[in-house]
Structure 1
């Protein structure tokens, strides 16, 4: 499936806190933590934009990525747990960037451009106040910088996916990634943090055999277990479980990167197109309870065919279509790699491998 780091120059750093911790006396105690931070660190000069479609986003500095604004470059993208509280992790990433000479030049120094988005995972480890801070953001950025070119990306219960769930807390979510290389040398990679109200589209939370599940089936996700299991999962996906007593609070975050030369407007359109890949992976998506957000980054290493308007349009449409597919793969990878856990806040089961049908419909 590849990884977002198949795009030359892209690096990913992740830190997390989860489960029990050992005190000075050697005794283990539950820390109440289940959260983390994932930082995507692109090479200097990377252009970026964003498209926020969810009805309940928690974001930081996304306005600076609008094509109509002054800055063009992105120094880092921070994905974090902790809802709005966790956005402070971006301050740590900014501090690292400033210390390392990365940012928008202003009189007297640099101002790093570090957009961020957060998922809701508050209290899932048992302690509502256990959330990412500035130091975790700094550590994740430093970890990304320390990675070698083309490094693998850890997936599942790591980074910002540590406290992620899906199906309104029925199953464990996590970090996933994927990539594709086009014939013209363009590489597109995606990284997703899957923390969704919905469930994988047209699949069952059973360990399926290859070829037995069609993601392309145009129907809601319906588990094929007992009637009670099916009803509970359907209610969870729709956010209508009467026993829950509160609205679902979730978000799926995505970073898409390419080595193509794109301007800020084209990055914006690419981020917009990638929401189709999110919708093909999760049902429902983009609800009032989701903060679904897609960032798009372009490192500018490979020129597209712009010899005519027709060639330019074809190149962009091909790239954006492929990018949407990569987003779908990254999301399903995040679901498949997530491991079930038990915390004082509840039990979150593993969904199991999700098989995408690649043959004719």
Structure 2
């Protein structure tokens, strides 16, 4: 296993981004339609096709997921992924109609210094198409795709991934876009809050500090006193191989 979302067979991931805009898109494609659900929290959510994922609705599986920067503008990214799938005849079939099912979610990266004066139409639909076209079982981590413009209170945010297997052999993998309101380190560092979950010394092997001072525990918020819930979003996609081992029925 490579500690990536694509350790789940039948999953491909692709990125497309624009450093000038300081934003981008990540497309997650499923070789076969996958059963999916969603959990939305926080004060400024941005999603597409969220209601479709409720278990009582007609569509039982999805073809892809689009993650994007751009706040609400970035919801166009799913249309680009949808177009790529439609060209290949993939999607939910109603008689002769084929409708690719692509839920999407966005993070707020409009205040990160990139040039957001993109004219009449934002670039996210085209970036979504390019991300789908680039999808494979190997993909980059960090400031790429939907993580290109992500930030935190003190260090650059970005995109990460991880995978593991249970004792009985079920594989579970995740991909996260971290555009968080807070600090990723204890105080000004060098300890990371995520140290208890470190794998192979990826955070420098420092662990947590031997003791916590009041300054270490002081909240550090991106945007300071003017920060709002809408400015900070973490997107997480979790996939298990149980979702993809059997072809899903399509009505």
TM-score range, shorter chain: 0.7 to 0.9
What's the CA shift for 1:222? 7.3
2:197 match = none
1:136 match = 127
CA displacement, residues 38-62 of structure 1 (integer Å, 9 cap, x when unaligned):
0111121311111111221111111
| Alignment check: 8 A CA contact 2:25 2:131 kept | yes
Structure of higher CA gyration radius: 1
What's the CA shift for 1:204? 5.5
What's the CA shift for 1:203? 7.2
| Alignment check: 8 A CA contact 2:155 2:184 kept | no
What's the CA shift for 1:98? 1.1
What's the CA shift for 1:185? 1.9
| Alignment check: 8 A CA contact 1:15 1:38 kept | yes
| Alignment check: 8 A CA contact 1:44 1:102 kept | no
Aligned-CA RMSD value: 2.7
CA displacement, residues 145-175 of structure 1 (integer Å, 9 cap, x when unaligned):
xx2xxx33311100000000112xx321000
Match of 1:138, SS state, is helix
Match of 1:115 among 100, 103, 107: 103
TM-score, normalised on structure 1? 0.58
Q: How many residues align?
A: 230
Equivalents in 2 of 1:89, 1:128: separation in Å?
16
Match of 1:212 among 207, 210, 216: 207
CA displacement, residues 332-359 of structure 1 (integer Å, 9 cap, x when unaligned):
xxxxxxxxxxxxxxxxxxxxxxxxxxxx
2:235 match = 253
Which aligned pairs between 1:6-45 and structure 2 lie closer than 5 A?
6-18=7-19, 31=20, 33-45=21-33
CA displacement, residues 262-298 of structure 1 (integer Å, 9 cap, x when unaligned):
xxxxxxxxxxxxxxxxxxxxxxxxxxxxxxxxxxxx2
Where structure 1 has 5 or more consecutive residues not aligned to the other structure, the ranges are 19-30, 225-229, 261-297, 302-361
Equivalents in 1 of 2:149, 2:114: separation in Å?
11
Equivalents in 2 of 1:8, 1:247: separation in Å?
39
| Alignment check: 8 A CA contact 1:156 1:174 kept | yes
What's the CA shift for 1:246? 5.3
Match of 1:88, SS state, is helix
Greater helix share, 1 or 2? 1
| Alignment check: 8 A CA contact 1:13 1:140 kept | yes
Match of 1:90, SS state, is helix
What's the CA shift for 1:197? 0.9
What's the CA shift for 1:122? 1.1
Where has structure 1 moved over 6 Å in runs of 4 or more? none
